[in-house]
Amino acid sequence: MAFNGKQLIRPVVLLLLLSASSSQLDAAEPAASAGTLEQARAELTRIQARRQAQEARAADILADEQRLDALVRQLKAQPPGLSDAVRTLRLDRALRQLRDRLVELQAVRREQQELSEQERTAREQVGALLRAEANRRLADAEQAFKAGREPEANTLYHQSLELMQDSERITHAPVPTTDRVRYEFNPELTGSEEPAELVQISVLLRHEAEALDQDLKALHQQARQVQTDLAFERRAARFQSIRDRDADATGIERGGEPQAAPTREGDLERQLTAIRNQISHDHERMRHVLERARELETLAAGRERQPERRGQ
């Protein structure tokens, strides 16, 4: 719902405001001090800064992960020769470093998710304080109008609408999601891998599956948030439509009053579609990764038994 801070107080609106019962005003959220609102805004800024730092760290780890995977592919592509022992040593070290980067990235992803949750909570806190201040100024506007101070009442009413608009913007603004750029580990096998190398590759694949599982949890939560916002926007649009029809039916002159701002309904619908598509992709990728990991573990177990059979 879009609040228009440039509207003048119209007679119908004033009658509705002045007819509000004292119990409704008492039930409004208590107004908080400016210091409390300032503290809430500062906390939100601090959390956003931490989340941005973690996003940069995740990007660095991802770049290192891609570099190490390219090195693994290069080493595996080298033809056999006198340097096999050195190549094997370098390959084992590169695989271990790649696994460490994946583990580190998984930890960063978890912290990013926690920070996203903290940011949502902080946004809700700031929004609640803004709504409390908007309620206070609306009550002051009513008192000023009763006392015949119409210019002051108009000013307070406009301030109340602006605060509600600010509250809506902060509360319903989508929290940026974890960076969706992910390097998908797709190892190419030569057929000469030792059992230990196969097991190590399967461990890397299972780490990716765990990271995907964390991302899916975040995506499902984001989808629920967007669905809630979409329901809010649709309800606001219906309310605005009813209000416009009532104004036309009663013959209230709108004069130069600007039209209501368009809702975010279309943008939210596109966001929800994109999130659902990403959920579908990640589910399929996780199924593939776990299946490949099981295949490699089975292959490693079979190759471990081969020397035993030759020795019998």
| pLDDT per position as a tens digit, 81-132 | 657 788 888 888 888 888 888 888 888 888 888 888 888 889 888 988 988 8
Give the whole-angstrom CA distance, residue 278 versus residue 215. 10
* Position 14 pLDDT exceeds 70: no
Give the whole-angstrom CA distance, residue 245 versus residue 243. 6
* pLDDT score for 221: 80
pLDDT in tens, 172-204: 665 555 445 566 777 777 777 888 888 888 888
* Position 255 pLDDT exceeds 60: no
* pLDDT score for 279: 94
pLDDT in tens, 130-140: 888 888 888 88
- Percent of the chain exceeding pLDDT 90 equals 14
* Position 239 pLDDT exceeds 60: no
* pLDDT score for 182: 63
* pLDDT score for 183: 62
Other CB atoms within 10 A of residue 87 CB: 15
Other CB atoms within 10 A of residue 155 CB: 15
Q: Are 275 and 222 in contact (CB under 8 A)?
A: yes
Nearest to 181 by CA among 29, 276, 63: 63
